[in-house]
Structure 1
Amino acid sequence: MKRRDFVGLTGLAAGALWLPAVPGFGGSLVDPARLLEPGLDVAVKKRLADVALNTAKSAGATYADVRIGRYLNQSVFTREKQVQNIASGESFGAGVRVLANGTWGFAATNTVTEAGIAKAAQLAVQIAKANSKVQKEPVQLAPQKGQGVVSWKTPILVNAFEVPVKDKVDLLLAANAAALDNGASFVNSVLFQVNEQKYFASTDGSYIDQDIHRIWPNFSVTAIDRATGKFRSRDALSSPMGLGYEYLQPKAADKIAGPAGTGLIGYKNSFDMLADAALAAKQAKEKLTAKSVTAGKYDLVLDPNHLGLTIHESVGHPTELDRVLGYEANYAGTSFATLEWRAKNQPYGSKLVNIVADKLQPGSLGAVGYDDEGVPTKEWNIIDQGKLVDYQKIRDQAHIVNQKQSDGCCYADSWSTVQFQRMPNISLKPGTNKLSVDEMISKVDKGIYIAGRGSFSIDQQRYNSQFGGQVFYAIDKGKISGMLEDVAYQTNTLEFWNSCSAICDESDYRMFGSFFDGKGQPSQVSAVSHGSATTRFNNVNVINTARKI
């Protein structure tokens, strides 16, 4: 976009171009054209990687790996008829991790030269040897066969960074206009784009080059009753995805009709931002006069865009092995699903509940070919017919649960940060019998249909929780009877998953995700998806969030 066009669209000073980037989007602000420049040639990366590995071994490391990373991001922010900010960022450097004297050491540098990387490798070994003086037990690293020279790319159709910034601005402003034309008082929209160019090498014999893309369109619409000052909002029902700009080029085949009487549309691998913005405005207005829910027990029918967050908090986090072992207690809490609890063989959920972990699912945020330890990614069972059967683990954790290999879920959010166990995609398998959303609702006598992610709260053991949503519809005697407001459900993880009574089939399966899932000290972010079909939970406690105590 030309500077003159930008100023004309926004009416803002040129300094707006240099507003801080979004948290989690590190790196120096650069001209958007910089994002299209090629990175280092793969042969140069291999030569630099060999310098790091050889230097580390010469200094006394028994194992070493190096990650050379170029991280690109762009975020476009708009409000009503104006652009608020456009920020393009780039971060480039290398991180070296080693084992020496049975202890981890790590160092990073943005001087990506042979001398710079050699210095980082030497420092990593020095840190490992210093750490070994207080290490109580040596690290036990699960064996991993070297992968040789390989590569992996997100199978995108349109590179979002190649799309002109003006086209992205036009799309966001068109979505804003669709909301305003349908009764919105205020609307803001944003488009996040990420490209990770990661090169991994290890003394196991792996040289892995990966090119990873992610995208997330989002908006928030607000409607105001000027007479009373009351206002209500509705956010986008989009999902962040591991796709290119094709996600914003809607296809009819990707649309899934929501329940009769709601006007809702679900989306698989593309998103109609204009249609959802228009519907969001109408629903925000409708929420102004919607009936406030009566607290009590209800059967809940939860759409995938809502259920994904509940899966994330009540299954994803409590089955991270480092959290189970107490390693995250200081920052993020622990888990009720301890090794001792699992040994009792108690049901985590009903027999309908089958939850898998994976970093393979096409279009998902977690989809990569190899993790940041060079382990090929895979799918494995977390909950099988309601029983907890496994955790998420990496190379130095496998022996703790008597396993001999990593699950391939080790990740760092930057070349400058050390890799550690992160959540893969955690998804609920769809039902095996054909079942539509309307058929599911037809069997509900007294219930609530919930769509979209809302506020939530969950305790440090990921047990007691409360979840809201974006829109709520009453279900009376098998039919949608009108919109509700002030809805949240309270439950504990085991009660909730054991109340699962029906799951729609594969045709309704969709993904939700988190672009900025935080964990660790110092904190890192990662991106992860959660797939499911619309699911029913019986006799769940619903509260009225507007009630004064």
Structure 2
Amino acid sequence: MKRSEFLYLSGLGAGALMLPNLALFGNPIDPMEALNVVDVKIKKELADVALNAARAKGASYADIRIGRYLNQFVATRENRVQGVANTESYGVGVRVIANGCWGFASTNNVTKEDIAKAAEKAVAVAKANSKIQGAPVQLAPQKGYGEVSWKSPIEKNAFEVPVKEKVDLLLATNALAMQGGASFVNSVIFAVNEQKYFASTDGSYIDQDVHRIFPNFTVTKIDRSSGKFDTIKSLSTPMGMGYEYLEPKESSKVKGIVTRYKDRYDILEDIKSATVNVDQKMKAKSVEPGKYDMVLDPSHLWLTIHESVGHPTELDRVLGYEANYAGTSFLSLDRLNSKKFNFGNKLVNVVADKTEKTSLGAVGYDDEGVACKKWDIVKDGILVNFQATRDQAHMIGLKESQGCSYAQSWADVQFQRMPNVSLQPGKEKLSVDDMIKNVEKGIYIIGDGSFSIDQQRYNFQFGGQMFYEIKEGKIVGMLKDVAYQSNTQEFWNAVGAVCDESDYRLGGAFNDGKGQPSQSNAVSHGSSTTRFNGVNVINTARKI
């Protein structure tokens, strides 16, 4: 795309509400600049400057992260462009251990002189902290990998696709919604590229190129006669993929009511379905409170997994070291591998996996230079592990880190962040249609919605996007005002069936928050459609 066209499109939507606060993502750049890369030889030279400077000042360990973070936003509403933005954040973060204590410093002046100063400052911070530190930091051993690299296995770099092509796709998407009677529609494509270089005194020099993409829309319809309105969001999910995610393959339907996407996403087909579904949602009957068997689609279940399994198994929450963003955890170390505590029933198998292809959390190495892997968190309903970093591993008897360290940028210190946490598919062949046939009184939920959960990740309430009533094995219509309530242990012990691997799909979020100062990371959660028996459902429109 020509620069003049880019500036024209950008000017159409200056200050548009759909664009995020760009100050959080870096400085504006020409989109063509996003295709430039920094020579890995230069990055290694800069890394050695930091490591040598830190050791010279007394650090027993040091690592450096050289990060270039690129973001592109293309946002539209109805028949107009709201905004186009390309941003870049580029800088260096140096972390050290000196006198048994952590120290950290960063700079956006990527020169040898300024990097050396940052390393020296990090050591000074560590030595100052050591005066009030208790027990010294214990790092799990980590071998150096030498010079290695990893790249997201994308087919088409989203940053190479002309902005005009993305704008045309989004405007065509909006046009279909308006033709279908939508009152309002907005749509966005958000692309991310993290170019990260890690080096440490352990002997690792790791170059990584990470790509993510998130297309989405929201359709709103208003009944002018009654003043009532409703909305439906897209069924897309953010993915660790390139622009190929928006080049659809064949999709599938359950009972002809909802289109489901696995490896590719058809935004045009999805918005046509959404425009019909939002009509049905407005006319749907209000749910009768009571006990129902809940059939939860992966587009919904990912969020329940995230809140009730992912966060409470973070080791820092379990130990009480972390309480930001909804508290600590109802779990404790004595429940690990305990036959007296059933996290769920025997159908519940949950794994953490930083290597799962197309997932948001997939990288070759974490931000401590640890090679990523897959491990069990819940096995046959028993809690068997947590999520840990190098300085946490010894606390639960691990001899090595699980590779759970991440920082949202070069300017932030890395800490324990959630890997992809997923419910494993059932072992017996079972489709969604087969599952619904076995439900006498139930609700089938598609899409995520509002939720709340207590300060120990135990008692919760979840809504959704679309709710379908099931009677005697058949879907009989749409419901509204639905939310289910449970607690984590009760809920995961209520699993009645899990569809097989053919139904397994990923959901996820670009913006999982944690820490103070807060950081955000991207994470996926996979599952197949799952039935939960006898779950309490409330009517959210009725006053208590």
TM-score over 0.5 (shorter chain): yes
Tell me if structure 2 keeps the 8 A contact 1:25–1:73: no
How has the CA–CA distance of structure 1 residues 434 and 25 changed in structure 2, closer, same or farther, with 3 Å as cutoff?
Answer: farther
* 1:32 Cα deviation after fit: 1.3
Tell me if structure 1 keeps the 8 A contact 2:324–2:515: no
Q: Secondary structure at the match of 1:118?
A: helix
Equivalences for residues 195-210 of structure 1 within 5 A: 195-210=193-208
- Say whether 1:296 aligns with 2:286: no
The CA distance in 1 between the partners of 2:196 and 2:7, in whole Å, is: 36
Q: Deviations over 1:428-463 (max 9, x none)?
A: 100111101000000000000000011111111000
Aligned to 1:322: 316
Tell me if structure 2 keeps the 8 A contact 1:7–1:14: no
Among 526, 531, 535, the alignment partner of 2:521 is 526
The CA distance in 2 between the partners of 1:107 and 1:199, in whole Å, is: 16
Aligned to 1:257: 253
The CA distance in 2 between the partners of 1:250 and 1:461, in whole Å, is: 40
* 1:332 Cα deviation after fit: 3.6
Equivalences for residues 454-469 of structure 1 within 5 A: 454-469=449-464
Aligned to 2:187: 189
Equivalences for residues 9-20 of structure 1 within 5 A: 15-16=14-15
Q: Deviations over 1:273-304 (max 9, x none)?
A: 01111111111111111011000000000000
- Say whether 1:348 aligns with 2:343: yes
* 1:7 Cα deviation after fit: 8.4
Among 376, 383, 396, the alignment partner of 1:381 is 376
Q: Deviations over 1:136-183 (max 9, x none)?
A: 110000000101110000010000000000000111111111111112
Q: Secondary structure at the match of 2:336?
A: helix
How has the CA–CA distance of structure 1 residues 25 and 511 changed in structure 2, closer, same or farther, with 3 Å as cutoff?
Answer: farther
Q: Secondary structure at the match of 1:105?
A: strand
Aligned to 1:180: 178
Tell me if structure 1 keeps the 8 A contact 2:294–2:531: yes
Tell me if structure 2 keeps the 8 A contact 1:18–1:87: no
* 1:99 Cα deviation after fit: 0.2
The CA distance in 2 between the partners of 1:299 and 1:286, in whole Å, is: 22
Aligned to 1:63: 61
Among 94, 100, 110, the alignment partner of 2:98 is 100
Tell me if structure 2 keeps the 8 A contact 1:17–1:87: no
How has the CA–CA distance of structure 1 residues 78 and 20 changed in structure 2, closer, same or farther, with 3 Å as cutoff?
Answer: closer
Aligned to 2:79: 81
* 1:352 Cα deviation after fit: 0.4
The CA distance in 2 between the partners of 1:109 and 1:34, in whole Å, is: 21
* 1:341 Cα deviation after fit: 3.4
Equivalences for residues 242-253 of structure 1 within 5 A: 242-252=240-250
Letter in 2 for 1:256: S
Tell me if structure 1 keeps the 8 A contact 2:28–2:88: yes
The CA distance in 2 between the partners of 1:233 and 1:516, in whole Å, is: 22
Equivalences for residues 138-537 of structure 1 within 5 A: 138-252=136-250, 255-258=251-254, 260-262=255-257, 264-342=258-336, 344-345=338-339, 346-537=341-532
Q: Secondary structure at the match of 2:52?
A: helix
* 1:548 Cα deviation after fit: 2.0
Q: Secondary structure at the match of 1:85?
A: strand
The CA distance in 2 between the partners of 1:31 and 1:103, in whole Å, is: 41
How has the CA–CA distance of structure 1 residues 305 and 24 changed in structure 2, closer, same or farther, with 3 Å as cutoff?
Answer: farther
After TM superposition, the runs of 4+ consecutive aligned structure 1 residues lying more than 6 A away are: 6-10, 17-20
Paired residues, number = 543
Q: Deviations over 1:285-337 (max 9, x none)?
A: 11111011000000000000100000000000000001111111255410001
Tell me if structure 2 keeps the 8 A contact 1:435–1:504: yes
Aligned to 1:33: 32
Tell me if structure 2 keeps the 8 A contact 1:261–1:480: no
The CA distance in 1 between the partners of 2:479 and 2:22, in whole Å, is: 34
The CA distance in 2 between the partners of 1:347 and 1:229, in whole Å, is: 48
Q: TM-score, normalised by structure 2?
A: 0.97
The CA distance in 1 between the partners of 2:197 and 2:204, in whole Å, is: 10
Tell me if structure 2 keeps the 8 A contact 1:25–1:89: no
Consecutive unaligned residues of structure 1, counting only runs of 5 or more, are: none
* 1:54 Cα deviation after fit: 0.6
Tell me if structure 1 keeps the 8 A contact 2:448–2:465: yes
The CA distance in 1 between the partners of 2:71 and 2:149, in whole Å, is: 21
* 1:256 Cα deviation after fit: 3.0
How has the CA–CA distance of structure 1 residues 285 and 4 changed in structure 2, closer, same or farther, with 3 Å as cutoff?
Answer: farther
Tell me if structure 2 keeps the 8 A contact 1:18–1:29: no
Letter in 2 for 1:73: N
Greater displacement, 89-98 / 331-340: 331-340
* 1:36 Cα deviation after fit: 1.4
Instruction: Report % sequence identity.
Output: 65
The CA distance in 2 between the partners of 1:276 and 1:6, in whole Å, is: 28
The CA distance in 2 between the partners of 1:547 and 1:93, in whole Å, is: 52
Letter in 2 for 1:456: F
Q: Deviations over 1:113-153 (max 9, x none)?
A: 11011000000000000000000110000000101110000
* 1:219 Cα deviation after fit: 0.6
Tell me if structure 2 keeps the 8 A contact 1:222–1:234: yes
Letter in 1 for 2:361: G
The CA distance in 1 between the partners of 2:8 and 2:46, in whole Å, is: 46
Q: Deviations over 1:334-389 (max 9, x none)?
A: 00011133364310111000000011000000000000000000000000000100
Letter in 1 for 2:430: L
The CA distance in 2 between the partners of 1:395 and 1:197, in whole Å, is: 23
Tell me if structure 1 keeps the 8 A contact 2:73–2:190: yes
* 1:29 Cα deviation after fit: 1.3
Tell me if structure 2 keeps the 8 A contact 1:347–1:387: yes
The CA distance in 2 between the partners of 1:23 and 1:464, in whole Å, is: 36
Q: Secondary structure at the match of 2:189?
A: strand
How has the CA–CA distance of structure 1 residues 6 and 205 changed in structure 2, closer, same or farther, with 3 Å as cutoff?
Answer: closer
Letter in 2 for 1:395: R
* 1:257 Cα deviation after fit: 2.2
Tell me if structure 2 keeps the 8 A contact 1:297–1:540: yes
* 1:261 Cα deviation after fit: 4.6
Letter in 1 for 2:29: V
Q: TM-score, normalised by structure 1?
A: 0.96
Tell me if structure 1 keeps the 8 A contact 2:337–2:382: no
Q: Secondary structure at the match of 1:438?
A: helix
